[in-house]
Every structure is written in C-alpha cells, then in structure tokens.
Amino acid sequence: MQRRDFTLAALASLSGAGSILNSAHAQSPWSPNKPLKLVVAAAPGSPPDVTARPLAEQLSASLGQPVLVENRPGAGGIVGMEAVLRSAPDGYTIGLASQSQMVFNQHLFEKLPYDATRDVQPVIRLASVAIVLVAHPSVPADSLRDLVTLSRNRPNPLQIAVAPLGQPPHVLGLLAQSEANLRLDWLPFKGGVEAVAACRAGDIPLAVEAPSTVVPHIKAGTLKALAVTGTAREPTLPDVPTISEILGRRIPGETWFGLVLPRGSAPEVVARLQRDAAAAIAKPEMRAVYSRFGWRLIDGSSPEEFAATVREEGPRWGEIIRKAGLKLG
C-alpha cells in the first residue's frame, strides 16, 4: 500500500511539473532564427515602401535577424495580401497591410480571395495619413469653397488625377466629393507620382495624393493645396484647412497601415512582433522619419484594436463605395 501511494504521489508530482513546463513553454517569447520578409503591396519608392524600409531596419535590430522588404504590387493590394496569407503562419512572413487591403477591397471586389476578418491576424496599426487636394496654379480656385463654386458654374465636371481607382486617395476623395457636393471626373493613373505629375504639367487641373508626394511641389509653387482630408491639419501644411473645418462637421478622411500575419500564427509570435513594432515607432528617429512623410504614428495599437478598427470601418466605407457605384472586379 505504501509503495502504491508513493507511486501515485510521484506520478502526480511529475504530472504537475509537466504542466508547469508546458505552461512556461507556451508563454515563452518567440525568437526568430532565420531572416524574415516584410511584404509591401506597392512599388519601390511608393509611400508604403519608403515607410516600410526604416521599420524593417528597426525590426532587424530588435529581432536579431534580417527583415527583408519584398515589394508585391498589383490588383489593389490583393497580390501582396495573398503572398502573406499563403505563407506558413510561423512569423517569418509579415504583411504591411493598408486600409485598402483590410477594409476597401471587400466592397470593391465581388470575389475577393481572402476575408480580412477571418483569414488575417492583425498585429498592430502603425500610422495614419491624410490626403491632400491640390490644383495646378492656373486653376481659378484657391480654396475648397472656390472649387465648389467653380464646379457649380461649369457645364462639365472638373477632371481630377488619382492613383489607381479604389486606393485610399480615391476612396477618401470620393467622401470629400460627396460631402462638398463637387462634380468631379476621376482619371486613374498607374500611381500617385504619375497622377501628381499630370497635374503639375497642367494636363489635369486637380489631383489628390499623400503629403509625401505633393508637399515638395506645393513648397516649390508648382501646385497649390486647397484642402486636407481628415479632422486634424497636416503638420507639413499647417496653413491648409481640413475639409472638416471648411464644412463645419467632422468628416473622417485618414488612411492607415499596419502589420498583419496569416491567421493561425502563434500568440507568442503576434505578441513579439506587436511589442517590437510598437517600440520601433516610439523611437524619436522613427517619429522623425514618419513625420517627414506625413505619417502620424498610432500609439497604443494592439491586435484587438486593429481588428476592431477593421470591423467598425467596414460598413462606413462600404456605403461610400456603394454610393459611388465603384466596383473593380
């Protein structure tokens, strides 16, 4: 009897020790042991690309492994998102996901090959940016109100250059157009740089694009800024009012990006990447880089906050897209 009791007690002790070891293993931090990829669904030199590269450098230092930026543009960000979601959920392939990929695309494409709320593991939202409405200097309008008057007094809509349809400059611009009651004819270009170049040349009177693309031309006098989307003035254009200010009501109009993983990624992987990315953007040198490109850092984002943002924004932007009759596939 004593031997049996001892055996049972020993087994119980070993079982308890095993539970402790398993618990410790489950909570142990993840440390990568090979290079990682950061997939950017945009071309080299684009606003997402130039903001991804300094982040990759910071993550390389904190993770102890190279983080290589891989550009996968195409199909409204679908190509890049599929590259992430088809990878193993082991933390070695990270996506830099935009608002288009996470929110807009579900309303733009009938047969989207992924569901952002089901197939994607949000990690952290990193930064947001407003969009600037600019005009060629020859346009007889120096403000959004002037532009509204000009639009009303013309027989035809004003032409406006924009990056590919369905991207943030276009969708945020559609909201501004609706709120201000503007008559616009949207002309898509390969990218924002090309759209702005057409406006600078005087081929198209108006354009909308991120601050990093238009601010140098505004300061050079080859473009003039009429308004900024969103609810807060753009730091690089402090004298340009927001559409919310001009119209006297709060009108959302900022786009954002963040890090994502394939669904099924281990909690310790998600936690490590969230922690390291949050620490990276908190550094003064990173804040300076992002500020230079017009990006406003998002403090305190978590996987839960990111997921909630995607769920909450879906109906709002879906209604804007539906009203515009916009479908891309």
Q: Which residues contact 178 (CB under 8 A, 6 or more apart)?
A: 320, 323, 324
**b/e sequence 283-318, b meaning 16+ C-beta within 10 Å:** eeebeebbeebbbbbbeebbbeebbebbeebbeebe
Mean pLDDT of 119-137: 96
Q: What is the mean pLDDT of residues 171-199?
A: 94
Range among 167-171, 257-261, 285-289 rated most confident = 257-261
Q: Mean pLDDT for the chain?
A: 90
Average pLDDT for residues 199-224, to the nearest whole number?
96
pLDDT exceeds 70 at position 17: no
Q: Give CA–CA dist 117/97, Å, rounded.
A: 13
How many Cβ atoms are within 10 Å of 20's Cβ, its own excluded? Answer: 10
Q: Binning pLDDT at 50, 70 and 90, where does residue 231 land? A: confident
In the predicted model, is pLDDT for residue 34 greater than 60? yes
67-96, pLDDT tens digit by residue?
999 999 988 899 999 999 999 999 999 999
Q: Of 257, 208, 213, 325, which is closest to residue 48 (Cα–Cα)?
A: 257
Q: List all residues 6 or more positions away from 314 whose beta carbon is below 8 Å from its beta carbon.
A: 103, 106, 107, 117
Least confident of 8-12, 182-186, 260-264: 8-12
Nearest one of 269, 240, 161, 174 to 207, comparing CA atoms: 161
Q: At what angle do helices 47-63 and 267-281 cross, to 10 degrees?
A: 110
* Burial class (CB within 10 angstroms; exposed 0-12, middle 13-18, buried 19+) of 109: middle
- The residue assigned the tokens 């800024």 is 225
Under the banding of pLDDT at 50, 70 and 90, the label for residue 230 is confident
Give the pairing type, strands 93-98 and 184-188: unpaired
Q: Give 28's pLDDT tier (boundaries 50, 70, 90).
A: low
pLDDT above 60: residue 16: no
The more confidently predicted of residues 12 and 99 is 99
Q: Which residues contact 36 (CB under 8 A, 6 or more apart)?
A: 59, 63, 65, 66, 67, 68, 91, 92, 93, 94
Give the model's pLDDT for residue 20: 39
Q: Looking at residue 289, what is its pLDDT?
A: 87
% of the chain at pLDDT higher than 90: 77
The C-alpha atoms of residue 16 and residue 187 are separated, in whole angstroms, by 67
Contact 211, 237 (CB under 8 A): yes
| pLDDT tens, residue by residue, 237-261 | 999 999 999 999 999 889 999 999 9
For the record, the structure tokens of 292 come out as: 């230079």
320 to 18, 35, 131, 176, 178: CA distances (angstroms):
55, 41, 16, 10, 9
CA 85 to chain centre: 17
Pick the closest to residue 186 from 208, 214, 153, 201 (CA basis). Answer: 208
CA distances from 7 to 20, 72, 226 (A): 20, 60, 82
Token couple for 14: 């070993």
> What amino acid occupies position 213?
T
